[in-house]
Amino acid sequence: MLSTTPRTRLGREKHRGSTDRNDLYEVLDTGLFCHLGVVADGHPMVVPTGYGRVGETLYLHGSTGARSLRAGEGTEVCVTVTHVDGIVLARSVFNHSVNYRSAIIYGRARMVTDEEERLEGLRALTEQLAPGQWDYARQPSRKELAATAVLALSLEEASVKIRRGAPNDEDEDYALPVWAGVLPLETSWGVPVPDPVLPEGMDVPVHISGRR
Amino acid sequence: MLSTTPRTRLGREKHRGSTDRNDLYEVLDTGLFCHLGVVADGHPMVVPTGYGRVGETLYLHGSTGARSLRAGEGTEVCVTVTHVDGIVLARSVFNHSVNYRSAIIYGRARMVTDEEERLEGLRALTEQLAPGQWDYARQPSRKELAATAVLALSLEEASVKIRRGAPNDEDEDYALPVWAGVLPLETSWGVPVPDPVLPEGMDVPVHISGRR
């Protein structure tokens, strides 16, 4: 069950809200990038970045010098993950919409200092972007770890919105001779492109070529 | 040429920055959704929303009751548009990356009150999401227009970051027996799904079925 706080209470389109934690996990676990919002020098700053989830914690990372992470340490952040599934073509311009699934998480980001948790967070981040790569590629050196900031954000304060299905038109518009429906947006993995300097004859591992 | 301000100066990975305004237009014009960041009650709030571009102005819209837009009126906002083009699989976990194109725009959002500009903004918003629909579907009524807030954001203060191509590995890692390259992420339009209550035999218009 997702909690409701003044920030996560849905002001608009309440019917699109979900209070099922499994929906939250599904939106997060199938995403690649989030948009991290921080307040920097009094103004909002939104940067795309990777993330990973372990249970009730979202992990973010970045260079120890990145401005967005410096602003985020110990301060309030907002992390949003959005999937666009299709364009909803209504009979009126006003009722055009988007089929989407989005999660918004609010909280105070915590800089992770425990080495074990840092590794667990980085593993989750890597596996979110590229499943199977943490064990396949070279793992971080001491120097690389020192250059990486890992932030943790609790999933305690989160909201999920989902829109699916056909357009909702005004009663009087259904008689219009206008086609209406959904144009699905589909994403898929393409054919892996080898690094040009890769030795010839090296097969693409199945965890990459077979990714779904 | 994109200007550089303290906010848009790239702190990290300067080589990924573009100062070509055409790159900014390309990132914006090929996107569907942006992430709008505002400061609400002192904390950051990031919401996915549609947008449209007319020259040097980005238009956003929403219900006149939406919290994110109320917070944005006359206050500083940040709008970010991100395309994920592929996952960069490096020989080390540390050098994993993402091929992406992103635009970040900072500025003070202006509530549009001029009726002509409001219509122009809404047209751009509709055409961004669903090209051809402004002229095809029923246009907004007076009542619908009154319920819609339109915000304008100048593109004056913007930055663009683009990453393309193969991984950048450490010199000593190129000898590792690890496959490296890019797994492209491809998006495409699916087969249009008619509204179940659409009269039978109504053809899908070419501007929808032929969308690229």
Range of the domain at A25: 14-209
* Residue B139 near chain A (CB below 8 Å): yes
* H/E stretch holding A207: helix A206-209
What is the pLDDT at residue B183? 98
Q: Determine the average pLDDT of the residues in B60-68.
A: 74
Q: Determine the average pLDDT of the residues in B47-64.
A: 93
What is the pLDDT at residue A65? 65
Q: B2 in a domain, yes or no? A: no
Cβ–Cβ of A140/B92 closer than 8 Å?
yes
What is the pLDDT at residue A70? 66
Kindly tell me if the per-residue pLDDT of B164 is higher than 90: yes
Kindly give the confidence (pLDDT) of every residue in chain A, 212 residues in length, as a single tens digit, with 9 standing for 90 and above: 565 676 776 555 667 887 789 999 999 999 999 999 999 988 999 999 999 999 999 999 977 666 666 666 678 999 999 999 999 999 999 999 999 999 999 999 999 999 999 999 999 999 999 999 999 999 999 999 999 999 999 999 999 999 999 999 999 999 999 999 999 999 999 999 999 999 988 999 999 999 98
What is the pLDDT at residue B18? 80
Q: How far apart are CA B36 and CA B51, in angstroms?
A: 10
DSSP summary character for residue A9: S
Q: A26 in a domain, yes or no? A: yes
Nearest CA in chain A to B201: A179
- pLDDT, one tens digit per residue, over B194-211 is 999 999 889 999 999 999
Kindly tell me if the per-residue pLDDT of B67 is higher than 80: no
**CATH number of the CATH domain containing A116:** 2.30.110.10
Q: A118 in a domain, yes or no? A: yes
Cβ–Cβ of A191/B178 closer than 8 Å?
no
* Residue B176 near chain A (CB below 8 Å): yes
Q: B96 in a domain, yes or no? A: yes
Kindly tell me if the per-residue pLDDT of B75 is higher than 90: no
| A:41-60 residues touching chain B, CB 8 A cutoff | 42-48, 50
Q: A2 in a domain, yes or no? A: no
Q: What percent of chain B has pLDDT over 70?
A: 90
Q: Determine the average pLDDT of the residues in B9-29.
A: 82
Cβ–Cβ of B45/A65 closer than 8 Å?
no
For the ranges A68-77, A164-173, B71-80, B166-175, the lowest mean pLDDT is seen at A68-77
What is the pLDDT at residue B69? 65
* H/E stretch holding A153: strand A148-154
Q: B179 in a domain, yes or no? A: yes
* Residue B130 near chain A (CB below 8 Å): yes
Kindly tell me if the per-residue pLDDT of B146 is higher than 80: yes
CB neighbours of B60 closer than 8 A, spacing ≥ 6?
B34, B36, B49, B50, B51, B69, B72, B79, B109, B125, B150, B151, B153
| B:58-77 residues touching chain A, CB 8 A cutoff | 63, 65-67, 76-77
Q: B122 in a domain, yes or no? A: yes
Cβ–Cβ of A47/B80 closer than 8 Å?
yes
Kindly tell me if the per-residue pLDDT of B1 is higher than 60: no
- Which of A54, A47, A48 has the alpha carbon at shortest distance from A33? A48
What is the pLDDT at residue A106? 97
Chain A interface mutation, best of B67, B68, B94, B95, highest count of A Cβ atoms under 10 Å: B94
Kindly tell me if the per-residue pLDDT of B12 is higher than 60: no
Query: A124: which chain B residues are within 8 Å (Cβ-Cβ)?
Result: none
What is the pLDDT at residue A201? 87
Cβ–Cβ of A46/B78 closer than 8 Å?
yes
Kindly tell me if the per-residue pLDDT of B104 is higher than 70: yes
Chain A interface mutation, best of B8, B139, B179, highest count of A Cβ atoms under 10 Å: B179
Query: A32: which chain B residues are within 8 Å (Cβ-Cβ)?
Result: 84, 87, 98, 185
* Residue A146 near chain B (CB below 8 Å): no
Average pLDDT value for chain B: 92
Kindly tell me if the per-residue pLDDT of B71 is higher than 70: no
Q: A108 in a domain, yes or no? A: yes
- Residue B13's pLDDT band, with cuts at 50, 70 and 90, is low
In chain B, the number of structural domains is: 1
